[in-house]
Structure 1
Amino acid sequence: MYNKLIGALLIIITGLVGLFMYTYYSIEAGEESSWPRHSSLEDAGFNPQALDQARAYYESLNSTAAMVIYRGRVLFEWGDVSKSTNAHSVRKSLLSALYGIELEQGTMHLNQTLVEFGIDDQPPLTTIERQAELRHLMTSSSGVYLPAGEESIGMRVARPGRGSFLPGENYYYNNWDFNVLGTIYNEQTESDLFEDFFEKIAQPIGMEDLDPADMNYKYENRRSRHPSYLFQMSARDMARFGQLYLQEGRWDGRQIVPEWWVEESTKPQKDVPSNNVMDYGYLWWTASDGPFADLDMYSAVGRYGQSIDIIPELDLVFVHRVDSNRLAFQLTRSSVNELQRLQLLQLILDARQSQ
């Protein structure tokens, strides 16, 4: 009887250990990307020991996934790169790509105003606010200072008073502008931005994990009539989007996003006084000072540590994720700030050997 009990316990323990190890390696490795990979770090021109140091720093943070595409091939994947999680404000750069397609087709123009688009809110816009142009919304400088969905406390505190600035006069990171862009896109195209992104961008470039069912509009009607558009996306799908931009909007010989828009949208359009590293383009962040500016880096950035950092000078895309969907995150709000993310990226770049 005793031996049978011990045997049963051993079977249970063995099973639990096996389940733990399977879960651990599934979380750690995730499902490998189907992209071609570099045969070795050394052959790709990177020092393995230096990348080990970068990996150690990554593991000291609250990061949950990171990935580098170098010269069109996977250099490394850390964490679960296949899990789709909240992309947060990276959503704005995704929408920028759709706008580029529509601007090329003439569906809309950058100088069209809120009056022409028939945009209003509650409370109603003033006559001056209605003169804000599409370009102002895309550079977060509309001068419309109203509550909006998905605002952080910091955004609410920093919001200027209504009428403080004319349209185009002042940069303020404004979710009202960004959410209204979603409304304008859907109304002017008579389509749905999630469906269009999936059909016009995700499928042509081979995104592997994106599911339209995981994307949704978040309505916060007590703040604004314009909903937020929330993307759930994996690290490796973000990397494909970054690679698309690195390739000037082309994929397998097909122009997905107009080349002129890739160039124009990722240029500095507005100074950001509160950020000494990056300025703002058309829904993209663009390095304006320091070593990353020398590399012409531009980025899609989201709350808590989400990013797609594109470095044309090195033919490199870096993706960083913090899974804010996790219960542990909901309890601790443990994020990765911009300084930490850029320090990690610098360690990775420092691992490049002279080539």
Structure 2
Amino acid sequence: MQKKILLLICFSALALILGGIALGANTFFTSDTTWEVYESPEEAGWSSQRLREAKRYYDSLHSTAAMAIHDGKVLFAWGDVTQNTNAHSIRKSFLNSLYGIHVEKGNIDLNDTLGDVGIYDFPDLTEQEKQAKISDLLSSQSGVFHKAGEESLTMRRNRPNRGSHEPGTFFYYNNWDFNVLGTIFNGETELDLFEEFEEKIADQIGMEDFSLDNTEYKQEVRRSIHPSYLFQVSARDMARFGQLYLQNGKWDGEQIVPEEWIQMSLRDHGNVPRNTVYDYGYLWWSATSGKWSDLGLYSAMGRYGQAIDIIPELDLVFVHRVNSNNATFGFRRSVSQSQRLRLLEMIVEAKESD
């Protein structure tokens, strides 16, 4: 009798799993959620068969979670989308939202220079470097080529010589700029950026896994006095953040992030050499050529394959995660930009014609 009960339980569990796969693998939530979920991809206008093909490609990568939101509801979710893992450089797009709020309030002036707001480092900045504006840092064009925390090996190798470019004239993906923006935010607003993100963003849009316990200022004083501000965030909370931007900063009828700020942030402020898809705005990447530009794609991206991809033309938010928290994690387990965009392309191709 016990064996029969056990077999029934096993078969029931298997049926649920296979049923979830047939519906596009909506088998993700290990806890309660306020997200609405489509009963099937077809209900949202997507093909289950083509999404299964996309899922097979996803399974061939080092991806650990992915999630798509269409018209505010979950189209599919793969992997554990509830686990808080290192957001890497998506932290910069999080900070963008806070700058938008406080620029509108008048607490931050984008035309202020580093000299105006008293920024220094060791070794100290030159007079030319002190002329960089906050807007130059937002577009990663400060011309301050100082060592910085959380730099990748590629960043270190590609860093130009100090003084080689004037502020506002040259794009270099520069963690010094990004980290100093955190210092400037805290100093000019007299607030803590993590606490402000929790109050003004996470709580307002109903992030389900966010906690201040999963945030950290990382000091690397041998490189710079300005710490990195690190977030551990789940895929489903990243999806909410992407949905906020897709909705031009509105949530439940309330303007959380100024719409004008979002539009300004997505403009091409910095030409990115050797990137055939994106140019750089204010802490966001915007597609500026080809089919992705036609769809209006813009993205928050981080090391190893973290991404929030937003396609306004399809009312679609796509989140891609690679869990790098494992101590043995290495470069070979990353997902490249081209691989992630191929996965996104397969998802877009799964959209059925009206």
Distance across 1 between alignment mates of 2:335 and 2:29: 21
Deviation at 1:329, TM superposition (A): 2.4
Matches within 5 A, 1:172-187: 172-187=172-187
Q: 1:254 — aligned with what?
A: 254
Matches within 5 A, 1:12-23: none
Q: 2:51 — aligned with what?
A: 51
Deviations 1:21-68 (A, max 9, x none): 99xx8xx73426421111211121111110000000000000000000
Count of residue correspondences: 333
1:276 is the counterpart of 2:276: yes
Identity of counterpart residues, as a percentage?
A: 58
Superposition CA RMSD, Å: 1.7
Deviation at 1:278, TM superposition (A): 0.3
The secondary structure found in structure 1 opposite 2:166 is coil
1:228 is the counterpart of 2:228: yes
The secondary structure found in structure 1 opposite 2:301 is strand
Letter in 2 for 1:348: I
Q: 2:338 — aligned with what?
A: 339
Matches within 5 A, 1:269-308: 269-308=269-308
Deviation at 1:326, TM superposition (A): 2.4
Q: Which runs of 5+ in 1 are unaligned?
A: 1-10
Q: 1:134 — aligned with what?
A: 134
Matches within 5 A, 1:106-125: 106-125=106-125
Q: 2:168 — aligned with what?
A: 168
Distance across 1 between alignment mates of 2:79 and 2:326: 14
Distance across 2 between alignment mates of 1:175 and 1:88: 11
Q: 1:7 — aligned with what?
A: none
Between 141-150 and 30-39, report the one with greater CA deviation. 30-39
Provide runs of 4+ in structure 1 moved above 4 Å: none
The secondary structure found in structure 1 opposite 2:308 is strand
Letter in 1 for 2:352: Q
1:63 is the counterpart of 2:85: no
Distance across 2 between alignment mates of 1:143 and 1:170: 7
Deviations 1:178-220 (A, max 9, x none): 0000000011111100000000000010000001011000000
Deviation at 1:132, TM superposition (A): 0.2
The secondary structure found in structure 1 opposite 2:224 is coil
Letter in 2 for 1:164: S
1:351 is the counterpart of 2:347: no
Taking structure 1 as the reference length, the TM-score comes to: 0.91
Taking structure 2 as the reference length, the TM-score comes to: 0.91
Distance across 2 between alignment mates of 1:117 and 1:51: 50
Distance across 2 between alignment mates of 1:328 and 1:291: 37
Distance across 2 between alignment mates of 1:313 and 1:215: 33
Q: Which runs of 5+ in 2 are unaligned?
A: 18-26
Letter in 2 for 1:337: S
Deviations 1:225-276 (A, max 9, x none): 0000000000000000000000000000110000101111012111101201
**Native 8 Å contact 1:30 1:83 kept in 2:** no
1:218 is the counterpart of 2:218: yes
Letter in 2 for 1:334: R
**Native 8 Å contact 1:30 1:79 kept in 2:** no
